[in-house]
């Protein structure tokens, strides 16, 4: 086996994982788009289940859910701190750190910046205009409800679609699935569970609808997979992510 073919073979697990993320994201995204198009008020019906007898979202002032939200934020920013340290140490020394080479640390950094920051927060949340559950008329607010895939003007910035905090958990775990291909399935499942739980916390607090969480996972899976493919193309598969 030549060095070139060996390198390509080494990249196979990552490519398979990237394709799995793309296929899964497209499948979930298309099915969800169809369901929410047929039942445009499904988000309202689900959010109604999270409202208490006082017509307030049950987790809005809950110490338990506030703590859970804090823990998810600590998890994300902790991953960011480790990623930054990995970039600095591996690039400055020219050697791997924690068994990951510099391009792998850069991959994680790019995923975090492009996914939750650029696409979720600066992109959709600041331009899609979907009002958060706690601010719509149906739950005591003054804003009009809009389905997930309908662009609106009800919110100027930091809006509901799609969840930035759920995105932050999804993107870290999906990126880890590509960094540690031997445990890719475990990382994807972990991402779905933790990202879903993070999204549920935000739903109970009235910050997001179910579709905001679902599409956060969809967009982050696609983002990580595309970034992986770009890194592999740039490296020529000689040192695949």
Residues 6+ away with beta carbon under 8 Å from 82 = none
pLDDT value, residue 54: 85
Count CB-CB contacts under 10 A for residue 213.
25
**In which residue are the tokens 């934020």 written?**
73
| Ordered mean pLDDT values, 10 residues apiece, the chain (241 residues) | 40 87 98 98 98 90 96 97 97 94 95 97 96 96 95 95 97 97 96 98 98 98 96 69 58
Residue 174: which of 114, 127, 122 has the closest Cα? 114
pLDDT value, residue 55: 85
> Model's pTM, two decimal places?
0.92
CB 214 within 8 A of CB 203: no
Q: Where are the domains of the chain?
A: 3-235
pLDDT value, residue 10: 45
Distance CA 78, CA 151 (A): 33
Residues 6+ away with beta carbon under 8 Å from 213 = 162, 163, 166, 195, 196, 199, 200, 202, 203
CB 169 within 8 A of CB 198: yes
Angle, helices 164-179 vs 102-112, to 10°: value is 160
CB 66 within 8 A of CB 159: no
DSSP secondary structure string, the chain? --HHHHHHHHHHHHHHHHHHHHHHHHHHHHHHHHHHHHSTTHHHHHHHTTB-TTSSBTTTT-HHHHHHHHHHHHHHHHHHHHHHHHHHHHHHHSS-BTTB-HHHHHHHHHHHIIIIIIIIIIIIITTS-PPPGGGBGGGT-SBPP--TTS--SS-SSS-SSS-HHHHHHHHHHHHHHHHSGGGHHHHHHHHHHHHHHHHHHHHHTTS--HHHHHHHHHHHHHHHHHHHHHHHHHHTTSS--
pLDDT value, residue 234: 86
pLDDT value, residue 13: 86
């Amino acid at each position: 086996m030549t060095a070139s073919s060996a390198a390509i073979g080494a990249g196979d697990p990552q490519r398979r994982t990237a394709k799995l993320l793309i296929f899964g994201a497209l499948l979930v995204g298309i099915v969800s788009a169809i369901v929410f198009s047929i039942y445009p008020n499904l988000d309202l019906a689900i959010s109604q289940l999270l409202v208490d007898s006082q017509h307030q979202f049950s987790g809005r002032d809950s110490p338990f859910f506030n703590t859970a939200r804090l823990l998810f934020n600590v998890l994300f920013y902790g991953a960011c701190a480790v990623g930054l340290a990995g970039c600095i140490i591996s690039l400055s020394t020219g050697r791997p750190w924690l068994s990951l080479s510099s391009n792998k640390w850069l991959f994680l950094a790019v995923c975090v910046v492009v996914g939750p920051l650029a696409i979720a927060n600066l992109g959709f949340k600041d331009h899609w205009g979907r009002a958060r559950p706690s601010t719509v008329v149906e739950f005591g607010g003054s804003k009009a409800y809009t389905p997930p895939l309908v662009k609106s003007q009800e919110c100027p910035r930091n809006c509901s679609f799609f969840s930035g905090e759920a995105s932050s958990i999804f993107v870290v775990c999906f990126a880890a699935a590509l960094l540690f291909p031997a445990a890719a399935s475990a990382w994807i499942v972990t991402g779905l569970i933790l990202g879903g739980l993070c999204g549920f916390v935000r739903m109970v607090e009235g910050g997001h609808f179910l579709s905001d969480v679902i599409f956060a996972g969809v967009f982050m899976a696609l983002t990580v997979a595309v970034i992986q493919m770009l890194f592999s193309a740039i490296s020529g598969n000689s040192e695949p992510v």
